[in-house]
Every structure is written in structure tokens, then in C-alpha cells.
Amino acid sequence: MNFGGFVPLSTVDWRGRSVCTVFFRGCPVRCAYCQNHAIHSGKDMRDLDEITEMIKGSLLAVSGVVFSGGEPTMQKDALLALAKAAKSLGLDVGIHTNGVYPETLGALIENKVVDHVALDIKARWARYNNLLKVNCVENVQQSLSLCRNARMNGRLAEFEVVITLFRGYEDEVPIIAQEAGDVDIVLQQGVTGSVRPLSEKEMKAIADNLAREVRIRTREGGEIVYEGDRSRRASRKRQG
């Protein structure tokens, strides 16, 4: 695999779990705010047995492994092999993905070697290709549908849509949430050098407009479960 890095113990990459995290190098989507931009490109080719030994070294401390990047689904064969190896070690498998490679997600689900998928949806569909400078919106839509259906029929234990939110794009959230449908939503604080990040209080106000439970992730407060404005939730229920 084209290797991007390894964290032997993480408590932030999978909510409620201690995991090890394997980073894959390379990504077709070059988001300016990505915290892992250093592994967007370049090469560090490693034998899969070496990566498996890294995972084995964490067995006493973790219950799962997360494959992240970069974009892990970009390297389909390597990801599938490592996911199978992790399952054979008794570990659960999580994937962090931008959804550009739905065929890889389909293979993971079909082979029953993935337990958790975090899908990063970056904008409303109408803005996607122009924003990312990559014609990928149909692929991301397919990944969303695939994972949502797998979650509903029990083939995928956990599925969440992550919205990385920046000041000035607050109106994107209700549209993305509607497009995502009835799945877990995570509002993640976007951090970039040129714009002041939204505070937890501001993100709660945005979540109130959704009238649904969400998780809010900020640097200052970590991750919290937020039920939203109860009066709006009740109003939405009555209208439904």
C-alpha cells in the first residue's frame, strides 16, 4: 500500500472506542482545509504484512482499527486485504471516506469486513463538482445510498454523515442533512487559517434548525450529543 502513517492508539477516530488508525496516502479531492494535506500525494510503498504487524502491536489496547487518509478507498485491494486481516485478528473495522470510490465501499460491505463508515459530505450536490474541482458528485451520492441501505438492512452496523462546517456556509447544513436522510449526522468544526471557526454555541444554533439529534465536534469541547431545540423538534413532529 501507499502508506501515510500509523497511530497505535486513538480515542478520537471512532466515538466511544479505543482504536489504532492506519492512514493511506493519496486523495483525488484536495480540500484546502484538510488536516492531512501532507499525505495527499507522494509515495511510501509498504508491504501489507508490515502494516498488519503494526496493527497486531496495538491488540492489547484497542478493539478496532480505523482506515483513514488521504483516501483509503482509493487503494481498493490493499484496503480490502487489511480489513480482512483486521477482522481475522478479532478487531472491528472503521472507514473514514469522502465517498468518491463507491465500488470499494461495496466490496467491503459485501465481504462483511466493515463495521463503521464515516462519510464526509462537503457541500450541497449542486455545488459539489465546482467546489472540489473533481467530477465526483454521482459517486458520492452512490456511496451515500449504498451505506444508508446497508445500515437499514443490517449489513453495516454504524453509518454517519460528517459535515465539516465553516463560517459563511451555515445554510448548507439543512440541505445536506435533508440529502443525507435518516442517518446519524455529525457537525464538525471546520478550521482554516483565514476564517474564525464557528463556536460550539454557534454550531448548536445551526443544529437547532435541523430539529433532530446531532453530534457536534469542536476543538474546544470535543464531541457532544446535542438534541437541539426541543420546541422546534415538537413542532416538526406535529407537522409530520
d(CA 102, CA 143): 5
Res 197: pLDDT: 93
Q: Which residue is listed with cell 443544529?
A: 207
Q: In CATH, which superfamily holds the domain spanning 3-239? A: Aldolase class I (3.20.20.70)
Given phi > 0 = left and psi -120 to 50 = alpha, else beta, which region is 23?
Answer: beta
| pTM metric for this prediction | 0.92
27 and 69 Cβ atoms separated by less than 8 Å? yes
Encode pLDDT of 219-232 as tens digits. 888 899 998 765 44
Domains of the chain: which residue ranges? 3-239
Encode pLDDT of 112-162 as tens digits. 999 999 999 988 898 888 877 778 999 999 999 999 999 999 999 999 999
